Structure 1
Amino acid sequence: MIEKEYLASRVAAANEAQLVAIMYEGLIDTFNECITYINKKENLDTLMDKSRDILAELIATLNGDSEIANNYKSIYLYVNNIITEGFIMKDESKFEEAIKVITPLYEGWNELGEKMYMDNIQENKGPKLVAGMTYGKGYVNESIMNNQDRWEKG
């Protein structure tokens, strides 16, 4: 439960690049779990589904038909093929290979996310939208601060 709450708070506070890095991190963690559970089929099935869901989400986030988008799609499909082979053959080395492919992508997106975070702090930018709730006896008021620093009814 605590792990899910921690992940939810990380996702809520993350910028765009950090969200991608979190997905890569989840993928690497899942591949490591696959290596651990390679001989326990019931756990491996669930982990493979999770891995494929993350890869599908990464593919779905690609926009357009640019060379970069096509290269990323090729990488994701290649990783899917590797882990499928690893699953079928119960071969840990296939999951290790997938980790080697994904790790540089994770490191790059993680570094970009940190740079974006630091740039945001240095520019002293606050959040674009702030929301809050006030509680009274028998009612709840929701307020939203817009970009003009004015509170409005939510």
Structure 2
Amino acid sequence: MFSSTGYGAANAYRQVSAHSGVENASPHQLIQMLFDGLFQSLNAARGAMERSEVEEKGRHISKSVRILQEGLVMGLDLEKGGELAANLKLLYDYSVAQLTKANIHSDVVLVEEVIKLLQPVAQGWKEIGPTANQTM
């Protein structure tokens, strides 16, 4: 039905579009994108666990861990951020530990715990959006 060339072109377009969105995003928007991707992956992992899809579960948990470690933790400025940044790092590290356990034991409850812990942080980040953009 679709040629591999057409599929490759469509995939390339999606990658360029996503890359452009990242390049044009403010630092605040980048963090928001990370949270959006994180929750999408966590919900996909939860669904994969419920369907006993081990490979999908592992893929989505791994993506969630990478977002936490390579995106959110690496984005913290522990020197300038003080106690808040230190507490966020502890929360993100705890979330990674819980997701690791969730992956090993296929424990949906641990994934749901991480979602519940991080939702207020993401919501707070979203709420400071207009204020942050005005002061930048």
What TM-score comes out, normalization by structure 2 length? 0.75
Aligned residues: 120
Q: Structure 2 matches for 1:4-153, cutoff 5 A? A: 4=15, 7-38=18-49, 39-57=52-70, 58-65=72-79, 66-117=82-133, 119=134
State the structure with more CA Rg: 1
- Once the two structures are aligned, what percentage of the paired residues are identical? 28
Query: Secondary structure of 1:62's match?
Result: coil
Tell me which protein shows more strand as a share of its residues: 1
- Return the alpha-carbon distance in structure 1 between the equivalents of residues 108 and 14 of structure 2: 26
Give the whole-Å Cα distance in 1 for the aligned partners of 2:47 and 2:18. 22
Q: Which runs of 4+ in 1 moved over 6 A?
A: none
State the shift of 1:82 in Å. 1.5
Alpha-carbon distance in 1 for matches of 2:14, 2:118: 23
Q: Which runs of 5+ in 1 are unaligned?
A: 126-154
* C-alpha distance in structure 1 between counterparts of 2:132 and 2:86, whole Å: 24
- Equivalent position of 1:138 in the other structure: none
Give 5+ residue unaligned stretches, structure 2.
Answer: 1-10
TM-score (normalised: structure 1): 0.67
Say which structure is richer in helix: 2
Q: CA-atom RMSD, angstroms?
A: 2.2
